[in-house]
Amino acid sequence: MTERDGIFAGADPFEIAARWLDDAKDSEPNDPNAIALATVDSDGLPNVRMVLLKEIEAGAFVFYTNYESAKAAELDSAGKAAFVIHWKSLRRQIRVRGTITREDGPQADEYFASRSLKSRLGAWASKQSQPLSSRAALMAEVAKVTAKQGPNPSRPPFWGGYRLEPLEIEFWADGAFRLHDRFQWRRDQVGSAWQVQRLNP
């Protein structure tokens, strides 16, 4: 892989992904960590939405959500998901597919505590993905939980993280004349060795 140098260099795909995200923090105007997360429902119908990637670990990507949301139901049912993160300013993207497990322990508690007070109260107030009669009803619920939870609300039992452990990671960079550079990291199961290959644009 002598030609896999420059922005593609490295023996660890998670380190490459973290480096690309750091690059994007200097150039993207908003939410450089926004990913389009894809799931499937019980009928196999795809679903996709934007969420914020919160951590790139040594072997996984971590994000957080309401466990009673539609996305959580689909994640728990399938146990698999995919996402793409695209940076227009860098003309790069990363595609990921893999297995899903919950992050529902101290790490989730720590992240929740790091959020702003209004975000923590909003997590308590929102019945994510459920029908809502009006904006006023939502704000009334926020006022209600604010009075009940006080200035330091703990993490709700219905809110936490998910960890995506990839079986495939693809790094893509724009090339002249649409001759893009694509490198796919692939393995048969979590923990096995990665195979890296260049793909046609």
Active site residue 187: no
**Residue 40, pLDDT above cutoff 90:** yes
- pLDDT tens for residues 57-86? 999 999 999 999 999 999 999 999 999 999
Query: Where do we find the tokens 């940076």?
Result: 87
User: pTM of the predicted model, to two decimals?
Assistant: 0.93
Cα(38)–Cα(50) distance, rounded to whole angstroms? Answer: 9
The residue behind tokens 């995506």 is 164
What SS3 state is found at 93? strand
The pLDDT value given to residue 113: 96
Q: Rounded CA gap, 138 and 156, in Å?
A: 17
The confidence band for 2, taking pLDDT boundaries of 50, 70 and 90, is low
Cβ 112 vs Cβ 161: under 8 Å: no
Q: What six digits make up the tokens of 22?
A: 């750091």
Q: Sort strands 61-66 and 46-56 into parallel, antiparallel or unpaired.
A: antiparallel
Percent over 70 (pLDDT), the chain: 99
- For residues 124-141, average pLDDT: 95
Q: Which residues contact 61 (CB under 8 A, 6 or more apart)?
A: 17, 53, 55, 83, 96, 163, 164, 166
What is the Cα–Cα distance from 81 to 187, expressed in whole angstroms? 16
Sequence letter at residue 4: R
Contacts of 189 (CB under 8 A, 6+ apart): 167
Q: How confident is the model at residue 1 (pLDDT cuts 50, 70, 90)?
A: very low
Q: Which of 91, 155, 178, 198 is catalytic?
A: 178
User: How far apart (Å, rounded) are the C-alpha atoms in residues 102 and 148?
Assistant: 27
Buried b (16+ CB within 10 A) or exposed e, 137-171: eeeebbeebbeebeeebebbeebbbbbbbbbebbb
Q: Is a pLDDT exceeding 90 seen at residue 3?
A: no
